[in-house]
């Protein structure tokens, strides 16, 4: 079957992957490491006999209007802080679970302090946002000490253990179907956050030099998450935990290099 959401100009850049997961459910992945967006579509005949579409995009690219032929009713939902596309947003209240229906697909939307988790229970597709990535460490949101992120990881573990789970889709990174592999990624996220929470505040309280704190903190990054982008997330996490600006951490990193 051809993609439901065609690119307006496929020749304009490197061709992304568009994968149909189920009927009216598509995964758009682009880049290295891939950034993933989920398209949930419904098409119905209205009273005038016209086919009208309803589309929900989870984590759409910022240039979605330029990339896709988007018609009729379109809305966006984000699992975390992202560059935003000029699309209407799904209104979500913090805390609890929102239930969203698009055509035949039902989405359970868990709005956490540290991000949003989206689960489609009927087909077992889980959008884990900034967690369970094989490319980046989890992000610590401003104002958090890492405990909010650990709570979200516990939620993800509960959802993955459900019998109908089929696929985990992080915002950045490869998708994964095998439960043990997903749990390994979550365990790496937990170990990273626990390490930062245990080590960084103590070093800072003892008055250790920033170079020492950063060197110790860098050792907590998993070996497979040490790209420039992963380092940027890590430095932002240090800034949140210590209250020291990203610019100062960046200067420290340049000195060490």
Domain parsing of the chain, residue ranges: 10-256
27-83 tens-digit pLDDT: 999 999 999 999 999 988 777 878 888 999 999 999 999 888 888 899 999 999 999
How high is the pLDDT of residue 254? 47
How high is the pLDDT of residue 1? 47
CATH topology of domain 10-256: Metallo-beta-lactamase; Chain A (3.60.15)
Rounded to two decimals, what is the model's pTM? 0.90
9-18 tens-digit pLDDT: 555 556 788 8
Average pLDDT, the chain: 89
Separation in Å, CA 51 to CA 46, 47, 71, 73, 143: 6, 9, 11, 12, 46
């Amino acid at each position: 079957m051809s993609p439901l959401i065609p690119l307006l100009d496929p020749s304009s850049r490197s061709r992304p992957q568009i994968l149909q997961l189920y009927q009216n459910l598509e995964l758009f992945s682009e880049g290295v490491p891939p950034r993933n967006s989920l398209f949930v579509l419904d098409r119905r005949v209205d009273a005038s006999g016209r086919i009208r579409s309803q589309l929900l995009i989870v984590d759409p690219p910022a240039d979605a209007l330029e990339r896709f032929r988007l018609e009729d009713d379109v809305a966006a939902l984000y699992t975390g802080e992202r560059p935003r596309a000029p699309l209407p947003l799904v209104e979500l209240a913090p805390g609890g679970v929102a239930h969203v229906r698009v055509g035949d697909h039902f989405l359970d939307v868990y709005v956490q302090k540290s991000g949003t988790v989206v689960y489609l229970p009927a087909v077992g597709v889980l959008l884990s946002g900034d967690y369970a990535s094989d490319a980046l460490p989890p992000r610590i949101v401003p104002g958090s000490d890492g405990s909010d992120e650990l709570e979200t990881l516990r939620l993800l573990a509960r959802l993955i253990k459900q019998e109908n789970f089929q696929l985990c889709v992080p915002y950045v990174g490869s998708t994964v179907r095998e439960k043990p592999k997903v749990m390994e990624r979550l365990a790496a996220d937990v170990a990273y956050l626990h390490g930062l929470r245990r080590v960084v505040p103590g070093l800072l309280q003892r008055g250790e030099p920033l170079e020492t704190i950063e060197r110790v903190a860098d050792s907590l990054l998993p070996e497979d998450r040490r790209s420039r982008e992963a380092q940027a997330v890590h430095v932002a996490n240090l800034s949140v935990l210590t209250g020291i600006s990203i610019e100062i951490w960046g200067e420290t990193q340049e000195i060490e290099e």
